[in-house]
Amino acid sequence: MRELIYFDSKNPNCKYPFGSVEQDEEMTFKIFVKDGVYVNRIELHIYEDGVDTPYVFRMSFNCKRGDESEYIAKISLNKVGLYWYRFHFVTENGEYQYRKDGDDFQLTVYSKDYTTPDWVKGGVIYHIFVDRFCKGKDDSAKFTKNGVLKEWGEEVTIKDADGVFRANDFYGGNFQGIIDKLPYLKKLGVTLLYLSPIFKSSSNHRYDTGDYEFVDELLGDEDKFRQLLQEAEQSGIRVMLDGVFNHTGADSKYFNKFGNYPTVGAYQSRASKYFDWFDFYNFPDEYHCWWGITVTPTISQRAKGFRQMICDKGGIIDKWTSLGVKGWRLDVVDELREDFVEDIRKAVKRSSEDNLLIGEVWEDASNKIAYSYRRRYFQGRELDGVMNYPFKEATLSYALGGKAGDFANTVMTIVENYPKQSLDVTMNLIDSHDTARALSVLSGVDMNGTDKEYRKNFRLSKEGYDFAKKRLILASTLQFMLPGVPSIFYGDEQGMEGYEDPLCRRCLDWDNIDKELLAHYTQLGKIRAKYKEQVCSETYFEYQGDLLILCRRGGGKILKVVANNTNQTQTFYCQKAKQELLSGQKVNCNEFGISAGEVKVFLF
């Protein structure tokens, strides 16, 4: 019977408007039935997530075209939430449920007043792991760590002599270094800097916060950070911080396991004012910590005092936002209580609705389940956007030879499931501080069975590098043209390679820049700036043979990204194309050859 019925949630002829909707917004559903199905009644059944009893809407016969009958229902939902729907057929031969390959169709309904910051949309994010980006001359930046301060460019440490990885090798990247490179970042088209954690801590990554009230002394002082914010804004660049609010450091004023702070920490005494911020199984040495890592004790879900410190007026978010911070990225947001996320949003938006709140989510954030609980992120009281890992996986998979249809399906599923205002501010990454470098992944070199020591010492040959770079050019072009905001992990634009943490966190070598790759990324930034309306508008795909054709349409113009991941030249029929934007070349033909592994961006 399925072959006699047609409904595609991604087709606006079947569901309009496409994708997520605002509460009370009218939706039109149409389902098409071939002759041979004797319909007595068709009902649209819509289930609120977690509720077994559906809302039932009777579909009416609308018209008949040839051998196909069209049934229609116009409805609206006034309650914000996640919904699932299917079609219930009553025929003379019995009852039948029409679903999507055995699953219900998804529908996201968001609040009427849900908005996201417009300044983010159409821009470019640059992600800096601060210790490794650039070391500027600054007398206020001081090394006081229990670790080693290395020369810039020395190899990273993967374990100490006793076999333990402590993340305590430092290179001294600092705020002044970022200030020095603001002209470089501006030329690259960057509009938002995302800084890895900057607060005082004992490690080089600073995800083990020691004190949220102070910047780490190795980065410079608060005056230097304020200077960075001011000079970045003068360059048209805003700054987003990493909010690590699920756990602190064991070496912190709050836990103080090693006695390095003057406060009485939770580890030291049950009488500590921070004691109820943490969960002890057997005081003091057995306690709940993030993924069992004892240097990062987890904040208790009941820690009211911690939440007040972060979110209340005059709290941590207020302190740094008042200096000019325009955004926050929430580390492991799926491990935070929803009401805590809502309080964080209120704090971030307290001074301005234009401030940005991003969450770290590795899956489809619209239907994410964490710890057996469905998470809400895009309904109006939570996040603005997330790190778009589904796009990352789809982009790398396609560049490595995956099917165009699989790429398109992943992209359009996210486009369908996310409210557009959320989609437009998602961080589109192809790598990060938590993953292998895109260039290394795209080399296709099989590292299975190797150890970290081997991967540390491995470097691509000239031939292997050029091969991977060609794939990176393809992948980054898709990254920049997809809905959302591309996020460059520092050094990708210069050809940095490396595998998992800490091998993806090496120092950026400013003396050996791949100028061709940098020029490519710079051109991508120019395209986004010039065609902002198009990259913030409609997304759809076209198909010609084995080519992938990603289309962005708006303002009477269309950008078409044409990618060829096959081993043979493919023909793109480009009638009415005006220009190829990566090269700036005018198009004076009706056919354009796309070489193996090549990507082009056409303006229509």
Q: Which residues are catalytic?
A: 331, 360
Coil, strand, or helix at residue 330? strand
Which tokens belong to 61? 């016969």
Distance separating alpha carbons of residues 194 and 126, to the nearest angstrom: 6
The gap between the terminal CA atoms of the chain, to the nearest Å, is: 41
3-state helix, strand and coil shares in percent for the chain, rounded to the nearest 5: 25, 30, 45
Contact criterion met (CB below 8 Å) for 185 and 141: no
Is the bond into 297 cis (omega within 30 degrees of 0)?
no
Task: Name residue 26's amino acid.
Answer: E
Gap between the Cα atoms of 135 and 153, Å rounded: 11
- Residue at 552: amino acid letter: R
**Which residue, among 374, 367, 378, has the nearest Cα to 420 in the 3D structure?**
378
176, 138 contact by CB (below 8 A): yes
Rounded Cα–Cα distance for residues 223 and 140 (Å) = 9
Are 116 and 421 in contact by the 8 Å Cβ rule? The answer is yes
> CB–CB of 503/148 below 8 Å?
no
Torsion of CA 174, 176, 177, 182, to 10 degrees: 130
Q: Do the strands 579-580 and 599-603 form a parallel or antiparallel pair, or are they unpaired?
A: antiparallel
Q: Please give the structure tokens belonging to residue 277.
A: 């911020």
**Which pairing describes strands 192-195 and 238-243: parallel, antiparallel, or unpaired?**
parallel
- Separation CA 193–CA 487 (nearest Å): 9
